Amino acid sequence: MNDRAVSLFEQYEIEVNRTWKGRGAILCDSDRGLLILKEYCGPADKVKFQDLLLRHLQESGAVRAESILRTREDEMIVYDQDRTPYIVKTYFDGRECSHRDAQECRRAAAALAKLHKASDLSAYEELRGQPVLTVEKEYEKHNRELRKVRKFLWEKSQKTDFEIYLMKHYDYFMNNALQITEELRYDAYEDDPCEGFVVCHGDYQYHNILLTEGGEALINFEKCARDCPARDLCLFLRKLLEKNNWSQTLGDMLIESYNRVRNLTKREYRQLYYRLAYPEKFWKIANFYYNSGKAWIPGRNMEKIEKLFAQERDKQLFLENIFQL
């Protein structure tokens, strides 16, 4: 981050004590507490929606979450000399939730349920104007990309070890993706398409859950969007389960922790199953490979896909035993 960005704090009604660099950001100790200056990559109108949600969460008192500061001119986005946009948000003195600590992960699951209860659209009329994300369309786009990658691989004359390994298992994951998408599409016809949507965090994973003396604090709401609550819960579970070989004990415990605060409906439960069942990790690996330079394929790509194949049986057993649909 450009050091000149520090001068952007001058546009705010704050007294800066000191600043230091964080991970892709600048932290600031001020008379208004701990703040963070980050580059803003989203559309300008999205920050208004984000601010509306965060102010509502603060007023509800349901969860501790960041808030966006406004400048002296009442602006939420500021620009440096190169017209790079930034926002300043409150921050928390704490550490990330540990994916190795089951109790911390249970607390994070309960915090997510509190977030979803507080962001129910039926309780906050102003948020209804935002578009709703539909996972069927998202997966249809993924499937088109998977077809494109497969076509490219088939037509490639000389293949690396990684490409041969990828092709060997491609049809299994491709067929799985198509089947899950079709089941999702069929399932969507049975429900009211506007029922049960909340404002999701959009990137709910342990990196964005800070443990502080005052409890859990949620940060990085830049990807917040209207969607089924299963969107957040799926990402949270998948990230943890991939690191724990799809432990049925852990998965069951986290879903139970969520349900103690906010019960998943039957529709949300089915949505969670479909989202976990979709081969998201395979799509990510294939898509990253296709969109990066092919002259040299990082060794880590092979490690990721070998781990994915090794865990597939555990994942299928997890889905069969945890979800009784």
131 has pLDDT over 80: no
Q: State mean pLDDT over 274-289.
A: 94
Strand 209-212: give its sheet, edge to edge.
64-65, 215-218, 209-212, 95-96
Who's near 153: CB < 8 A, 6+ residues apart? 159, 163, 166, 167, 170
Q: Where are the domains of the chain?
A: 3-91, 102-322
Residue 192 pLDDT more than 70? no
Over 60: is that where the pLDDT of 282 sits? yes
CA 20 centroid distance within chain: 27
Same fold, 3-91 and 102-322: no
Q: What is the pLDDT of residues 214-224, one digit of tens each?
A: 899 999 999 99
The architecture of the domain spanning 102-322 is Alpha-Beta Complex (3.90)
Q: What is the mean pLDDT of residues 232-238?
A: 97
Q: Report residue 119's pLDDT band, with 50, 70 and 90 as the boundaries.
A: confident
The phi and psi torsions of 160 (rounded to 5 degrees) equal -80, 170
Architecture of domain 3-91: 2-Layer Sandwich (3.30)
pLDDT in tens, 42-81: 888 889 889 989 998 999 899 999 999 999 999 999 998 8
| This prediction's pTM | 0.91
